[in-house]
Amino acid sequence: MTHQKKPNPHQKKPNPNPHLQRNISMFLSKLIRTRT
């Protein structure tokens, strides 16, 4: 059994839309705020 370091699939290619990540977190925080 070889202990090979697998490349991170998320690191393979850069995020095409960095703003998408922010929008998702903002949307999630909004949801959480309205939920509680």
Instruction: Give per-residue pLDDT as tens, 1-36.
Output: 576 776 666 566 666 677 777 888 899 899 889 876
How much is the pLDDT for 12? 63
How much is the pLDDT for 13? 65
How much is the pLDDT for 34? 83
How much is the pLDDT for 36? 67
No. of helices (H) and no. of strands (E), the chain: 2, 0
Q: Three-state SS for 15?
A: coil
5 Rama class: left (phi>0) / alpha (psi -120 to 50) / beta: beta
How much is the pLDDT for 35? 74
How much is the pLDDT for 24? 86
